[in-house]
Amino acid sequence: MKRVYVNEDWCLACHLCEYYCAAANSGAPNMIKAFKTEGKKPLPRIKVEEGNEVNFAVQCRHCEAKPCVKGCISGALSVKDGVVSVDETRCVGCYTCVLSCPYGCIVIDEEGHRIQKCDLCVKNHNGEPACVQGCPNRAIVFEER
């Protein structure tokens, strides 16, 4: 299946992917509305790690092992066509998936007492990963490997 990959030699640590991700998953029609509207702060599901020599973004690998899905206590996390996504109405915020994910890709939504995670934008209006579209240096790609 197609997944999001990051070339850490090209990542500028500009964090635009985080903004595009947060906006796409905020439910707002565009970036300005997403960040300017009162209410819940948009939360990115991709995270940029910055270092002295390299930077890179990390998001859910939709890995084969799927420890988050298999350890989920409520059945909120599930897999469809290889894509792991969360049913926010069933998540109770126990954070067992945060404990289980070896990539650190489950995002804690403190306000909502639940988690969020990358679903490759299959559930939002964007249709394909917003982080990939928004990366100015093509450090993030969506491809089959």
Partner 1 sequence: MNYVIIGNSTAAVGTIAGIREIDSVGKITVISDEKYHTYSRPLISYWLEGKVSDKNIYYREPDFYEKNGVETILGKKATKIETEKKCVVLDDGLSVPYDKLMVATGSKPFVPPMKGLEKVNYHTFMTFDSVKAIRSEIKKGMKVLIIGAGLIGLKAAEALSVYETDITVIDLADRILPSILDVKAGIKMQSHIENHGVKFILKTSVEEFSEHSAKLQNGMTVDFDMLIVAVGVRPNTELVSDAGGKVERGIITDMTQKTSLDDIYSAGDCTVSYDSSADTNRILAILPNAYLQGETAGRNMAGRENYYLNAIPMNAIGLFGLHIISAGDYNGEEYVTETENTYKKLVFRDNKLKGYILMGDVERAGIYTGMIKEGIEIDDVNEELLKQKPQMMMFSKERREEKLGGIIR
Q: Is 70 in the site for partner 1 (CB under 8 A)?
A: yes
Q: Closest approach of Cβ 125 to partner 1, in Å?
A: 25
Indicate which single residue of 12, 30, 102, 111 sits in contact with partner 1 (rule: CB under 8 A).
Answer: 102
Indicate which single residue of 35, 93, 122, 124 sits in contact with partner 1 (rule: CB under 8 A).
Answer: 93
Query: Tokens in use for 19?
Result: 């903004």
Instruction: Find the binding residues for partner 1 in span 109-128 (CB under 8 A).
Output: none
Nearer to partner 1, 17 or 106 (CB): 106
Decide: helix, strand or coil at residue 99: helix
Nearer to partner 1, 12 or 65 (CB): 65
Measured distance CA(9)–CA(12) in Å, rounded = 8
The stretch among 11-19, 33-41, 89-97, 132-140 that binds partner 1 (CB under 8 A) is: 89-97
Gyration radius of the chain's alpha carbons: 15
Measured distance CA(143)–CA(11) in Å, rounded = 17
Q: φ and ψ at 68, to 5 degrees? A: -65, -45
Beta-ladder partners of 55? 50
Residue indicated by tokens 């509305």: 33
Nearer to partner 1, 37 or 88 (CB): 88
Q: Is 10 in the site for partner 1 (CB under 8 A)?
A: no
